[in-house]
Structure 1
Amino acid sequence: MTVTDDQGRSVTLAQPARRVITLAPHATELVYAAGAGQAMAGTIQGSDFPEDVKQVPSIGDGTRPNVERVAELRPDLVIAWLPGAAEPLMPTLRTLNVPVFFSDPRTLAAIPDEVATLGRLFGTEAAADKEAASLRERLAKLAERYRGRPPVRVFIQAGSNPLFTLNKQSIVNDAIGICGGVNIFADAPATASQVGLETVLAARPDAVVSGVSGIEELRALASSWKETRLPAALAGHVYGVDADTLYRPGPRLIDAAEALCRALDQTRPPAPR
C-alpha cells in the first residue's frame, strides 16, 4: 500500500508493518490509537503513553538516536517527526530499505486522519477507522457546542524566562480556535516566538493558557501573573492543561481541547436568562 506522509512524501509498504520504531512521543500515541501497539519494536526516551509503551525498548534520545540499536531492532517502518531529528538514521535506514513516515499533524482534524492512515500501514483498518470516527465525532460536537459564542482573547504561554508563545501555525492555536478562542499572537513571525511581558500586558488577553506538569506548577503560574496585575489573572483566568496532552499532536490533544473549551467558557459572561 502507498500513503502520503505529512512531508508530502509517498510511503510504500509491500505488506503491513510488523515492527515499527517511533521517533516522537505523539507518533507512539498515534500507533496505539491505530490499534497497532503490538507492532512497537522501539521508541525514544519520553514516549510514556500509554502505559504499555514503557516496556518497549528505547533507542535513546529523540535528537540523538542510537543508530546501532535501531539496526538491531530490525524495523520495517520508522515514524519520525522532524526531518532534522531523523537525519542521523537516514543512511542506515536507506541501507536497510526501511521506509520512513513523517508525522506532523498541524490541525485537530489531521489527528483522526493520521490514525486512519496508520491503520492502513499496519493493516489495522477496522480498529483505526473506528477510533478515527470517534475522534471526528468529538471534534464535531466541540465545534457545534462553542460555535457562535463570544470570542475569548487568549495568550498561549509556551515558555517563561523568557516568555514564549505560539502562533497560528501551531496545532494549539487550532485547539484554542475550536473553543471560540482568539490567539492574540496568531500573527507572530515564528511558530514559537519570544514576546515581552509588557507586550502581553498591553494586549490585555481575557485568559492565559499554558501547558503544566501539575497543580503546583499551575499555582505558581497563576501567582506570577497576578503579580503583574494582569486583569485576566486577577479574575482567576489563568488555565493550565497537562503539557503532554497539550503539546503532543496526538489523540489526547482532543482531550486537552475539551478541557480548554470548558476553561475558556468560564471567562464569558453568563448567558442572559
Structure 2
Amino acid sequence: MLFAVGAGDRVIGRTAYCNYPPAAESIAIVSDLQTPNYERLVSLRPDLVLMTFAGNSVAAYDKLVELGLEPFAIAAESIAGTLAAIDTVGLLVGRRDAALSVSRAIRTTIDSIQSLAKARARVTTFVVLDRAPLMTVSGGFVNEALTIAGGENIAAGDLSAYPRYSREEVLRRDPEVIIVPGDSSISPASLVESFPEWSRLRAVRNGRVYTIPPDVLFRPGPRLAQSIRLLYETLHPTDALAK
C-alpha cells in the first residue's frame, strides 16, 4: 500500500513476506508473518509501524507501544476494509490524494467487472487453498472478489473461514471451475493424480482447472483490481477484458 500511494521511498522495514513491488525486496526484513524483531525495529527508529488486525497480535501491538514506537493497525479482511485501509495509509503518510486516486481506480474496475458479470451465468467454483488437508475459503475478500467476478463459491456460508472439505463433498457439489493458487504446473491431469475420483468432476472433464498467483489472489491491497480481473477472465475466458 505504501508503494502504491507513492511512499515507497519512506519504507525502512518489511516482513519476510512483503515482496511486492520488486523494489520492496531490497528493504530490511524486520518481522516474520506475525512476530516483529523488536530490537531491529527500535534501532531503525521508524515514525510509523503499520500492522494488520488479522496478522498481528494485541500483544505485539502493546509491545511496540511500550518500546516508544507508533504502531497503527489496519483491517483489510474485506474489499471495503482494504479500500479504507489504502485511504487511511495515504492519510497517515501525507499522501491522501494519491491514496484516494488508487482506491477510486480500484472501485471503478470493480464496478465495471461487476456490471459485466451480472449479464453472465454464475460459475460454481471451488478454490483449493491446500491439498493436505483439503481446505478452501468460505468468506472474506477472496469470496467477495469471486462473487464480483461472476463466480459462485461452493463453500460460501460455511461457518469456518477456511473449512476442510472431503473429496466426496467436492464430488457432490461438482463445481464447474477449480482454482488452485500456484504456478502454471497445475493441470486437470496433475489434480487427478492427487484425487483420482475427481476425474468425474465437470471442472476436470472440461479442462477448467486454473491457477492464479497466490500473492495476487490472497493478499488484500492495491492489486485487488488485478485479482478480480483475473478471476473474471478465468471464469469467463471468452470475454477477456481490455487492458
Q: Specify whether residues 259 and 139 from structure 1 end up closer, same or farther in structure 2 by C-alpha distance, changes over 3 A only.
A: same
Residue 159 of structure 1: which of 130, 151, 154 is its match? 130
Equivalent residue for 1:113?
84
Cα separation, 2, equivalents of 1:42 and 1:86: 19
Residue 70 of structure 1: which of 41, 65, 77 is its match? 41
Cα separation, 2, equivalents of 1:47 and 1:220: 33
Please tell me whether residue 131 in structure 1 is matched to residue 95 in structure 2.
no
Please tell me whether the aligned partners of residues 164 and 194 of structure 1 are also in contact (alpha carbons under 8 angstroms): yes
Residue 93 of structure 2: which of 119, 122, 125 is its match? 122
Amino acid at match of 2:73: F
Equivalent residue for 2:184?
215
Determine what percentage of the aligned residue pairs are the same residue. Answer: 27
Residue 4 of structure 2: which of 33, 39, 54 is its match? 33
Please tell me whether residue 254 in structure 1 is matched to residue 225 in structure 2.
yes
Cα separation, 2, equivalents of 1:108 and 1:135: 10
Which of the pair is proportionally richer in strand?
Answer: 1
TM-score by length of 1: 0.79
Equivalent residue for 2:153?
183
Name the SS for the 2:155 alignment partner.
coil
Name the SS for the 2:91 alignment partner.
helix
Equivalent residue for 1:140?
111
Cα separation, 1, equivalents of 2:188 and 2:175: 19
Residue 94 of structure 1: which of 65, 69, 88 is its match? 65
Please tell me whether the aligned partners of residues 167 and 183 of structure 1 are also in contact (alpha carbons under 8 angstroms): yes
Cα separation, 2, equivalents of 1:78 and 1:220: 45
Name the SS for the 1:129 alignment partner.
helix
Cα separation, 2, equivalents of 1:61 and 1:74: 18
Please tell me whether residue 193 in structure 1 is matched to residue 169 in structure 2.
no
Structure 1 residues without counterparts, runs of 5 or longer: 1-29, 269-273
Structure 2 residues without counterparts, runs of 5 or longer: none
Please tell me whether the aligned partners of residues 206 and 267 of structure 1 are also in contact (alpha carbons under 8 angstroms): no
Name the SS for the 2:180 alignment partner.
strand
Aligned-CA RMSD value? 2.3
Please tell me whether the aligned partners of residues 167 and 195 of structure 2 are also in contact (alpha carbons under 8 angstroms): no
Cα separation, 1, equivalents of 2:55 and 2:174: 37
Name the SS for the 2:79 alignment partner.
coil
Amino acid at match of 2:42: A
Q: Specify whether residues 75 and 127 from structure 1 end up closer, same or farther in structure 2 by C-alpha distance, changes over 3 A only.
A: same
Q: CA deviation at 1:92?
A: 3.7
Please tell me whether residue 56 in structure 1 is matched to residue 27 in structure 2.
yes
Cα separation, 2, equivalents of 1:84 and 1:232: 33
Amino acid at match of 1:151: R
Name the SS for the 1:33 alignment partner.
coil
Equivalent residue for 1:12?
none
Name the SS for the 1:259 alignment partner.
helix
Q: Specify whether residues 254 and 196 from structure 1 end up closer, same or farther in structure 2 by C-alpha distance, changes over 3 A only.
A: same
Cα separation, 1, equivalents of 2:90 and 2:56: 24
Equivalent residue for 2:142?
172
Please tell me whether the aligned partners of residues 65 and 71 of structure 2 are also in contact (alpha carbons under 8 angstroms): no
Equivalent residue for 1:245?
216
Please tell me whether the aligned partners of residues 114 and 148 of structure 2 are also in contact (alpha carbons under 8 angstroms): yes
Name the SS for the 2:23 alignment partner.
helix
Q: CA deviation at 1:182?
A: 0.9
Q: Specify whether residues 114 and 91 from structure 1 end up closer, same or farther in structure 2 by C-alpha distance, changes over 3 A only.
A: closer
Q: CA deviation at 1:193?
A: 1.0
Q: CA deviation at 1:84?
A: 6.8
Q: CA deviation at 1:122?
A: 0.4
Equivalent residue for 1:149?
120
Post-superposition CA distance 1:97-135 (Å, at most 9, x none):
433222232333433332222111000122222222211
Please tell me whether the aligned partners of residues 35 and 56 of structure 2 are also in contact (alpha carbons under 8 angstroms): yes
Cα separation, 1, equivalents of 2:55 and 2:120: 41
